[in-house]
Amino acid sequence: MDAEIIAVGSELLTPQRTDTNSLYLTEKLNSLGILVRFKTIVGDSKEDLQVVIRAALERTPLIVLTGGLGPTEDDLTREVTAEVLGLPLHEVAELRRRIEDRYARLGRPMPENNLRQAQVPEGSEWLENRNGTAPGIWIEHQDHLVVLLPGPPRELEPLFEATCVPRLERVASGARIKTRVYKVVGLPESEVDQLIAPLYRPYQNPVTTILAAMGTIEVHLRARAATDQEAEARLAELGDKIELVLGDHVYSSKGETLEEVVGMYLVMRQKTLAVAESCTGGLLAERLTRVSGSSSYFLGGAVCYTNQMKTRWAGVPADLIQAHGAVSKPVAQALAEGVRARAGASIGVGITGIAGPKGGSSDKPVGLVFVALADDRATQVREFRFPGARERVRYWATQMALEMVRRRIRD
Amino acid sequence: MDAEIIAVGSELLTPQRTDTNSLYLTEKLNSLGILVRFKTIVGDSKEDLQVVIRAALERTPLIVLTGGLGPTEDDLTREVTAEVLGLPLHEVAELRRRIEDRYARLGRPMPENNLRQAQVPEGSEWLENRNGTAPGIWIEHQDHLVVLLPGPPRELEPLFEATCVPRLERVASGARIKTRVYKVVGLPESEVDQLIAPLYRPYQNPVTTILAAMGTIEVHLRARAATDQEAEARLAELGDKIELVLGDHVYSSKGETLEEVVGMYLVMRQKTLAVAESCTGGLLAERLTRVSGSSSYFLGGAVCYTNQMKTRWAGVPADLIQAHGAVSKPVAQALAEGVRARAGASIGVGITGIAGPKGGSSDKPVGLVFVALADDRATQVREFRFPGARERVRYWATQMALEMVRRRIRD
């Protein structure tokens, strides 16, 4: 069964935004053996949406529409789909009750147009949305399966997982697709390709793709087989060889982020961490604390944006800053050692640098960053020169800091 | 003249990649007064590409195809477009010569299939590609204008600029498109719509779209007119009314982020800021320091992930934490006042809460967050209960903290 994904929303036709829900959906559909053959993006226009749905009905059996299920005037997906399929809408009492209850709980009057979200086309099923007000809708009509999903990813993704994946498992063909992703840090894309091309080239299945994300190279393998076990065996045959060649540059093969891997190592070794950041402005602490449960190993972070705060929060001697400048190897070292002592942590990290776009000099250019790591054995300081914009410099600095922590604890 | 953009390439139908050339093209087309009404993504399949081009011919006068012009077997755009339009392909001597010259210079034998890149449909013009081997193709056929462009952005963009923009200026209607975006904080989407629907409903031009992003509602207006001035006047006519009704909930009308607006206010009032965060883990400091130049008003942030660090970095009395718990109104207040004093800032912000998914209780559930703001006049503490996942709770907490700062300084 092939699919078309239709993303609805005029904002997706602007120069600023485009559809990204289809990436998630494609991954899920592929893993069920369903191929995405077309993707269409259309605005909040009744006529255009009609044209697009009609075209999709002529070319694909499974149509997934995302967005346009909200309560406002320009949310048209529900009404137009029902109209094109020739199905009248009717109100679901349970959905009406839920909407009324929610407004009662909030103590707010319910805008009348919210009740549109209680309507579904005749003969369809509604799909529970635990993270928003618009339910999904599952329509089996003649030879087609048409699925309507809310646009916000935090609503769409759990809804799809909980309600659509089990239903699609029943109707899909039985071919299985499995994927494996190796995440690599510390090697450029071309070097990764050079190392592993001789391994993957003989294989048509799995398909290998190399992708450069910020601070990480990802190697994607996608295998197709009649059963999950057979697909997994194909992945293992090529994947294990690739993993061996890339060695300890691979930090993850199960989708974990670098901060999650660092967290797992810290828990395993019963170590704690504190950080003192300047140019990264809290991004390192923020990445570490994205991980649920990070409070068991992360004690705290000091974002020292002035010299005074470097002294006050991380105990960096004022005369050291005076002598070497805030962006210097000795200050990075003092930040790491100081924050480690202040927080009583096993490991301290210090970052100081110039994120740009301003503030650089010929001596200390934009992109210059010192990252220090202190533990009970030693303090290591590395100097980096990251190319690119402010955001990129900041991200790479935290990526390298996390990588230094990973290597130190793993050893 | 409206347009459809068709991106051709099987890699654009994988979970890892999607079409992004259309963002560049949309910006260029819009500035010429051309609206993009549809975007389609299709793989390297002859049949699918035929279906997609036929559908586009039925609904839009201008069709821009990107990708699939390379020399390999699965590059089909040239052949399939010619076939669907009923135009035979013929070889252009100049293009043949260029390809042969290039291989001669490289001292390599020319693969025969490279000569496909010397073919164009009858009656069309070829467009010079200074950064690659595949020329673009400009086809005016009956009531349609069909443009074929190479896929790599570094080929497509200069080619489009040099060859298509001047041609389109001649054929485009002369209409201009201008947009305005209002960003709103503190009101739910449905309430924004209820407030402004009576204002925008009478207008077909500008077109109004309401968009919910995390922590922000965006109102997009897009006006179309014969001149820039007239388009701006149309935007102003509706936009000023909308701005008046939404009042101080609008924090930006020129695309600025909330942290940029807060930064501008701080600079204007010559105030400085320091923050002490617990559950947001550095996200507030990180957002503030995304803004280039933030070092002129942001002094520092303490990410106090343990009780001890709340005391050590922000001077929160240990017995206060003991008495009320780390997630409490008094501790939020002490964090704000403490970090303000430690950093010597005009304004201090304190955040403490439970981001989840674990750590909640019936008394203090996941999503409970206290945000405090201290300045020389008073300390204000607000209690929030944010629904949703960890990431969302954290983001909303920083959004409300920034909004509290915005309102305090603006007053």
pLDDT grade, residue A401 (50/70/90)?
A: very high
Q: Of the candidates A9, A114, A303, which has its C-beta nearest B285's C-beta?
A: A303
pLDDT of residue B79: 96
Q: Do A281 and B302 touch (CB under 8 A)?
A: no
Residue A294's closest chain B neighbor by CA? B305
* Residues in CB range of B28: below 8 A, 6 or more apart: B160, B161, B164, B165
Does this model's pTM top 0.90? My answer is no
Share of chain A above pLDDT 70, in %: 100
pLDDT of residue B73: 76
Q: Of the candidates B16, B18, B306, which has its C-beta nearest A211's C-beta?
A: B16
- HSE of B50 in the Cβ direction (CA atoms, 13 Å)? 8
pLDDT of residue A114: 85
A326-371, pLDDT tens digit by residue? 999 999 999 999 999 999 999 999 999 999 999 999 999 999 999 9
pLDDT of residue B111: 79
Q: Which of the two residues, B107 and A158, has the higher pLDDT score?
A: A158
pLDDT of residue B20: 93
Cα gap A401→A409, rounded to integer Å: 13
pLDDT of residue B74: 78
pLDDT of residue B263: 98
Residue A29's closest chain B neighbor by CA? B15
Which helix (H) or strand (E) segment is A83 a member of? helix A77-85
Contacts of residue A34 in chain B, CB cutoff 8 Å? none
Q: Do B22 and A22 touch (CB under 8 A)?
A: no
Which parts of chain B register pLDDT below 50? none
Closest Cα in chain B, distance from residue A34 (Å)? 12
B111-136, pLDDT tens digit by residue? 788 888 999 999 999 999 988 889 99
Contacts of residue A9 in chain B, CB cutoff 8 Å? 209, 211
Tell me phi and psi for residue A142, to 5 degrees: 50, -125
pLDDT grade, residue A307 (50/70/90)?
A: very high
Closest Cα in chain B, distance from residue A56 (Å)? 10
**B12: nearest Cα among B3, B22, B25:** B22
Q: Of the candidates A38, A282, A308, which has its C-beta nearest B40's C-beta?
A: A38
pLDDT of residue B70: 85
Full set of structural domains in chain A with CATH? 2-171 (3.40.980.10), 176-252 (3.30.70.2860), 258-410 (3.90.950.20)
Highest mean pLDDT among A18-27, A218-227, B107-116: A18-27
Contacts of residue A46 in chain B, CB cutoff 8 Å? none
Closest Cα in chain B, distance from residue A348 (Å)? 14
- The size of the A-B interface in CB pairs under 8 A is 241
Q: Do A70 and B212 touch (CB under 8 A)?
A: yes
pLDDT grade, residue A33 (50/70/90)?
A: confident
A172-202, pLDDT tens digit by residue? 767 787 889 999 998 888 789 889 999 999 9
**B36: nearest Cα among A48, A6, A181:** A48
pLDDT of residue A306: 97
pLDDT of residue A381: 98
Cα gap A239→A218, rounded to integer Å: 13
Q: Do A281 and B286 touch (CB under 8 A)?
A: yes
Q: Do B59 and A40 touch (CB under 8 A)?
A: no
Cα gap B235→B287, rounded to integer Å: 30
In a 3-state reduction of DSSP, which class is residue A404? helix
Closest Cα in chain A, distance from residue B97 (Å)? 33
